[in-house]
Amino acid sequence: MHIGISCSQAILAAFGPGLGLDEDTALRLARGLGMGLGRGLTCGAVSGAILVLGLAQGPRQLEERQPRFACYEATGEFVRRFQDIHGAIACRDLLGLDLGTAQGRRQAQERGLFTNRCPQFVKSAGQLLEQIL
């Protein structure tokens, strides 16, 4: 993972181009999802993966019910499997810190969590996406 690239950006940039989303747009689209929506909530790797599932399996027409429900099912499967591997989907649970605070972000940086732990979440999210897609 590149410095300055969030987990959500890494996932969307990796899978987006194959689904018709150029890398620049993928990076900009996913920016707000970083650090668990900027508050230590849902991990960016999970949020980014859900966006990818929507791109890949979501309906092309709003009234299409089958693709919508297939996307919901794939999303549920992804979340379940990510939780099975990591025990949670929230940054504060995955990292043991509240990234919604300056102190939590500082501690995460000092402990190297963004460079040591977060890439593991991106890697497993990418692997799960490849299995589900």
Per-residue pLDDT of the chain (133 residues; tens, 9 = 90+): 455 789 999 999 999 999 999 999 999 999 888 878 877 789 999 999 999 999 998 767 777 778 888 999 999 999 999 999 999 999 999 999 999 899 999 999 999 999 999 999 999 999 999 999 9
129 neighbors 111 (Cβ within 8 angstroms): no
40 neighbors 78 (Cβ within 8 angstroms): no
How far apart CA 130 and CA 40 sit, in angstroms, is 26
How far apart CA 33 and CA 66 sit, in angstroms, is 27
